[in-house]
Amino acid sequence: MKLDATDQKLLDLLQKDSSQTVKSLAQKLGKSTTPIFERIKKLEKEGLIKGYSARLNTKKIGLKQTVFIAISLQGHTRSYLEKFVKEINDFPEVVECHRVSGGFDYLLKLVVEDIEAYEKFIISKLTLLPYLGNVQSHIVLSTSKETNEVDLSFLA
């Protein structure tokens, strides 16, 4: 699917604020509501828009600690890797799990209540997994930017 300039701006408006009415989106894009409504439905159907979600203030809710964990594995059989990833993904504390190049194999991002909850995760969940090699924790001290808005200017 090819995206024209209107689609690009529309996606950008929606990733910044999806609670806007079709009418206000249409005004910002210099069109009437019908074409914008149809464009949105098409972007949804084509899967370019995966869904809509509320952004929560995790700190205010009580999830004050983010942690990154860099993991190296020892034995690398394919079947084990799959099992490892499956287990990791099932932990609700884990919000991201990436296989990466560089000095280690996996990079996890966790959001937890506090350091105590983090330690609990390490002891009662992570270290129960076999074949763990090096595990290095990076406690987040402060976050200056954290968004899921991506830069769409390259489409222009």
Partner DNA sequence: ATTAAAAATAGAATAATATTCGTTAATTTT
Partner DNA sequence: AAAATTAACGAATATTATTCTATTTTTAAT
Binding region for DNA (CB under 7 A): 6, 21-23, 26, 30-35, 37-39
- Single-letter amino acid, residue 19: S
x/- map, 23-42, a copy of itself, by CB under 8 A: --------------------
Near a copy of itself by CB under 8 A: residue from 9, 11, 36, 73: 11
Stretch that binds a copy of itself, among 25-33, 72-80, 101-109, 124-132 (CB under 8 A): 101-109
In the list a copy of itself, DNA, none, the entry touching 35 (Cβ below 5 to 8 angstroms by class) is: DNA
- Indicate the SS3 state at residue 73: strand
C-beta of residue 107 within 8 angstroms of C-beta of residue 68: yes
Contact between 103 and a copy of itself (CB under 8 A)?
A: yes
Q: Is position 15 an interface residue for a copy of itself (rule: CB under 8 A)? A: yes
Question: Tokens 């890797």, residue?
Answer: 81
Q: Under a CB-based contact definition with an 8 Å cutoff, are residues 7 and 39 in contact?
A: yes
CB-CB contact of 111 with 145 (8 Å):
no
Q: With beta carbons less than 8 A apart as the criterion, state whether 32 and 100 touch.
A: no
CB 11 within 8 A of CB 43: yes
CB nearer to DNA: give 3 or 135.
Answer: 3
Of residues 42 through 81, those in contact with a copy of itself by CB under 8 A are 46-58, 60-63, 66, 68
Q: Is 102 left (phi over 0), alpha (psi -120 to 50) or beta?
A: left
- Residue 48, contacted partner among a copy of itself, DNA, none, CB below 5-8 A by kind: a copy of itself
Length of the chain: 156
**Could you list the residues that contact a copy of itself (CB under 8 A)?**
1, 3, 11, 14-19, 46-58, 60-63, 66, 68, 85, 88-89, 92-104, 107, 111, 113, 117, 136-155
